[in-house]
Amino acid sequence: MKTLLFVLLLLSNIKCGNTTTTVYVCDSTGAIRYHYKANCRGLSNCQHRIVQTTLESAQKSNKTLCKWEQSAR
């Protein structure tokens, strides 16, 4: 019985895959888009640094998907 409880405890702590999606944004106050690729054409105009963040964080900052990547999907 103790073994079964131990196994259930271990299984409950295992994550089912990585659900975090990485995106890239231009680190400027006027940036409004996020990009799935660091070398996206839409980031070529970024005059500041390009930073890696999560999709959730970018969406919470009211950023939307880059128009170049929307057309590619």
Can you give the pTM of this predicted structure? 0.71
Model confidence over 20-50: pLDDT tens digits? Answer: 899 999 999 999 999 999 999 999 999 999 9
- Residue 68: both structure tokens together: 């170049």
Task: Compute the mean pLDDT over every residue in the chain, rounded to the nearest whole number.
Answer: 83
pLDDT at 72: 74
Alpha-carbon span 23 to 33, nearest angstrom:
10
Q: Are strands 22-26 and 50-54 parallel, antiparallel or unpaired?
A: antiparallel
Task: Decide if pLDDT at 10 tops 90.
Answer: no
